[in-house]
Structure 1
């Protein structure tokens, strides 16, 4: 049975900060960001936006052209948890008005959990072929000011509908997996920003790339030359380039940068979106100019700590008839550019406590976070 991604759509935030503005304010060469990191700008949430509002927006775009009654499960993947108990997907379920006969669960393992959710969805459909599963990856990457991670921030959501006989890509059986207990990146419960060991994080990422690829190659009769295009997890796009170079060195085959170039176009503008990062890469690749029908894609998913997976997907005939690049363009081009000072004010105004407060109305998206009442997060559908 062919199972995979039937439809896909995205959302991001109301604001955007150009990294040229950050470079000017901090007195650094813009090339440090544009070339050193491979980034141009990053999305910044308004006070009335979070992972729920972005995830619901991406899912709404998708469901407006599909039948919600077929959905039997909602899987929400994020490392920007909003509650230690209640899944963010339950809020989304309510905002979208989905049927009650739906299983809803949240997945967490740093940036990797979106892939865990996707593979879980594939396994569910394999058992229940008439069902469809809504997978939502949504995150806000928020680092301490003046830290090395500050220019790699970002925010965004990708929603995917997983079904049998999909319109876009078939997820092939047998993937390569890798786990190693590494303290390269973590965020304790009492911190609103993560802690990062930069060199260790890069080394762990590259080790996981090779480990997951070796496991994949051992399980399948698959050569690197059987893959037409590669998508690597992109905390910043230069890191994906390093992974691609490391893989080429490991297998002893030249893998040109043209094999990953198109997959990085959206992430250069959104910044790091954690669980959604790889799937923004997939969207960018599918929205590119090349006809990929019948081609095999290689996708590497990584989450610090660390867990990784290398899997493949085959692009389906007629897939271009089911793409909606205009929604990505609208999401990116409609963002309001802010100054570095405005960005810092928003960053400093972040509220992580659950005392009562209301948020100002800023976003014009269909869903907004309105504040907290009696320690319960409140959302509005418009």
Structure 2
């Protein structure tokens, strides 16, 4: 029995910041961002959106009357949780009208959480092949205005159903993982912006990738020649390119050309959305499926990394030929309808945070299906405009 990713959906707000404009406002050479970081745009998150609303919007694209009653678990990976106690998955469960006979939990390990969800879901479905698991990776990346990490901000949500006989990617049993207690990135409870040791984090990322990739190959007897594409966690797309370059010498010249071309396909959407933290790897997978010429049976490697640090490498085989026209068409429409946000408007929205008291928010500028309307009696108020 094959188990893997059956459906996949994405959501991010419809405002974006052009990083050329940001570079000019910060008196930087735009190529520092466009080439040196590998980013061209980033999503701007209004105060009326949080990880719950974005997750619900992404998941609503793949949860229908056909599979709603099959969902037995919601696993929500995030490092942007909204409550110290209550899982963000519980809010999503209600907004999507999922059955009560369900587990709904939130997991955290920096950007790795959604991958833990995928692996846990895979094991669950193997034991319960008539059930499915909804796995979500949703985050808002914040480093602060006029900081070195500002160019690697962004946000959004990816939602996946893990099921038997999947339609997209059949996952292998083999996986390699590694963890070390390192301080390359962290956000204390008292801070709304993350702290990062950028150069150290890049080095740890590459070291972790090489370690888990080579361990995976040792376990399976596979080599880089067995992969049509390698996808990466992409806090910024140049980071994944550094990981790819670390193993390219192991490939033939022809294989190097294939891997480089497919990497470009896999980072096309991340360049324009920015950093999703837990969802970044899976947006890269979507970008690959939508933009590369792939064939059923092609093996795709996935490298997940969460600072602090946890890394995992696993793979799957493509179930259907691509291009995935539905994914490509969705993103074409999404990018076409987005609105550019000026640097001044971006800065204003960045500084607009929920207060620590009851408040009613103006949602008229937010056209999303799910919105945060405010706080009442210390409880976040969510609305489904289609309910």
Q: Pick the TM interval, shorter chain.
A: over 0.9
SS at match of 1:355: coil
What displacement does 1:336 show?
Answer: 1.7
Name 2:114's counterpart in structure 1.
114
Q: Which structure 2 residues correspond to residues 29-44 of structure 1 after superposition, within 5 A?
A: 29-44=29-44
CA–CA separation in structure 1 for the residues paired with 2:37 and 2:65: 37
Work out the CA distance in 2 between the residues paired with 1:10 and 1:56.
10
The alpha-carbon deviation at position 120 of structure 1 amounts to: 0.6
Offset of residue 319 of structure 1: 6.2
1:194 and 2:194 equivalent?
A: yes
| Larger mean Cα displacement after TM superposition, 145-154 or 311-320 | 311-320
CA distance, structure 2, for counterparts of residue 105 and residue 322 of structure 1: 32
- 2: CA distance, partners of 1:323 / 1:111: 27
CA distance 1:314–1:141, shift in 2 (3 Å)? same
User: For the residues of structure 1 that align with 2:331 and 2:292, how far apart are their CA atoms?
Assistant: 15
Shift of 1:26: 1.3
1:72-221 to structure 2, matched below 5 A, reads 72-221=72-221
- Give the drift of 1:294: 1.1
Rounded to whole Å, the distance in 2 between the matches of 1:111 and 1:67 is: 28
CA drift at 1:272: 0.5
Q: CA deviation at 1:18?
A: 0.5
In the alignment, structure 1 segments of 5+ residues that lack a partner are none
1:90-118 Cα deviation digits (max 9, x unpaired): 11111111111111111110111111101
Correspondence for 1:359: 361
CA deviation vs aligned residue, 1:191-238 (integer Å, no higher than 9, x gap): 000100111101110111111112212211211110111101101001
| Post-superposition offset of 1:149 | 0.5
In the alignment, which residue of structure 1 is the partner of 2:16? Answer: 16
2:290–2:322 CA contact under 8 A, matched in 1: no
Give me the whole-angstrom Cα distance separating, in 2, the residues matched to 1:120 and 1:151. 33
| Partners of 2:76 and 2:322 in 1: CA distance | 25
Partner of 1:263: 266
Provide the C-alpha distance between the structure 2 equivalents of 1:295 and 1:49, rounded to a whole number of angstroms: 37
Q: Point out the more displaced range, 38-47 or 327-336.
A: 327-336
Name the counterpart of 2:301.
298
Query: Does residue 1:375 correspond to 2:378, yes or no?
Result: yes
> After superposition, where does 1:59-74 map in structure 2 within 5 Å?
59-64=59-64, 66-74=66-74
Following superposition, the deviation at residue 73 of structure 1 comes to: 0.6
The 1:321–1:244 alpha-carbon spacing in structure 2 relative to 1, beyond 3 Å, is closer
1:175 alignment partner, SS class: strand
Q: Distance in 2 between matches of 1:207 and 1:137?
A: 24
Using the alignment, how far apart are the partners of 1:19 and 1:266 within structure 2?
Answer: 15
User: Counterpart of 1:83 in 2: which secondary structure?
Assistant: coil
Moved segments of 4+, more than 6 Å: none
1:381 and 1:319 map into 2 onto residues whose CA distance is 33
* Contact 2:232 2:281 survives alignment (8 Å): yes
Of 330, 350, 353, the residue aligned with 2:353 is 350
Q: 1: distance between equivalents of 2:178 and 2:168?
A: 27
Task: Report the Cα distance in structure 2 between the residues aligned to 1:300 and 1:113, rounded to whole angstroms.
Answer: 13
What is the CA deviation profile of residues 334-373 of structure 1, one whole-angstrom value per residue up to 9, with x for unaligned ones? 222110000001111223x431112211211110011111
Structure 2 SS opposite 1:147: coil
CA contact under 8 A between 1:11 and 1:331: conserved in structure 2? Answer: no
Gap runs ≥5 in structure 2: none
Bigger Cα displacement from structure 2, 331-340 vs 219-228: 331-340
The number of residue pairs the alignment matches comes to: 380
